[in-house]
Amino acid sequence: MTELTDADLVYRFQKGDRCAFSALVRRWEGFVLRVAARVTGDMNEAEEVRQSVFLRFLESPKAVRRADRFAAWLRRMTVNEAITSVRRRIRRQRTADRLRARSVGIETPHPDDPLEAADEADRLAVAMAWLEPDERALLSLRFDEGLTFAEIAAAMAMPASTIKSRTTRLVARLRAMLCADIQADDEARS
């Protein structure tokens, strides 16, 4: 089964082979979870996104019109689902904030608080939190998954040239935020 390509597995699954679906999940679950985790910044939410992406494929196998483009379809689905999840959560939070008393603060890590950014994973997460969900998705596809600009462009429905220029700007911003955090961390320790 592991010898089969994505296209073979998709074709088999579309014919009703459940094992083919399981194999595709095993092959792509890491990608979906990593990207979703970077975009959402929350592992539980990322798992929900992953569940949702695979569930959609399970419910509608024919949604993948071209089996040889399964990877592109899955990447796009992952990015869209993760961004939608973040936006949904932000809407919920805004509603909750409005309902809550003003005196109650939001207990989420903030880049201004260096103590919250204890290690490099947290520092990266905090820096990423400053970015928009689609910007996080772009960086994740680039640096987590090592995709080319063309592949990222296909996943995000944007021209490759736009992706390239956005990546350059985002990398600069990310570096600036990471450096600022390290300096703040050092000052706090000293």
Partner 1 sequence: MRGFQDRTDLFEPPDDDLRALFQRTAPEVTPTDVEALFATVKTSRPYQQSVPSRRLVMTIRITVGTMIAAGVAAAFSFLVPHETTAAFEFAEVQREVAATRTVAFTTTLAFDGQPRMVMRTLVLAPDRLRVEAEGHFTVIDFKARKRMTVDTKHRTVQIKELLTTESPESNLYALFTEVARDPIETLLERSLDGKRALGFVATWHGHEVAIWVDPKTKLPVRVQSTREEFGHTWRRSSRRSPSIDRSTTHSSR
Binding stretches for partner 1 (CB under 8 A): 14, 16, 18, 21-22, 25-26, 29-31, 33-34, 37, 43, 46-47, 50-51, 54-55, 58-63, 71, 120-121, 124-125, 139-140, 143-146, 148-150, 171, 174-175
User: Minimum CB separation from partner 1 for residue 19, in Å?
Assistant: 10
Of the pair 62, 189, the CB lying nearest partner 1 is at: 62
| 136 in Cβ contact with 124 (< 8 Å) | no
Rounded to whole angstroms, the Cα distance separating 14 from 20 reads 9
Rounded to whole angstroms, the Cα distance separating 78 from 58 reads 14
Of the pair 9, 139, the CB lying nearest partner 1 is at: 139
Rounded to whole angstroms, the Cα distance separating 6 from 166 reads 30
User: Minimum CB separation from partner 1 for residue 69, in Å?
Assistant: 14
Instruction: Give the 3-state secondary structure of residue 154.
Output: helix
User: Minimum CB separation from partner 1 for residue 102, in Å?
Assistant: 34
Question: Which letter, b or e, does each residue of 125-150 get, where b requires 16 or more Cβ atoms within 10 Å of its Cβ?
Answer: bbbbeebebbbbbbbbbbeebebebe
Of the pair 37, 131, the CB lying nearest partner 1 is at: 37
User: Minimum CB separation from partner 1 for residue 119, in Å?
Assistant: 9
The amino acid at 61? P
Of the pair 30, 159, the CB lying nearest partner 1 is at: 30
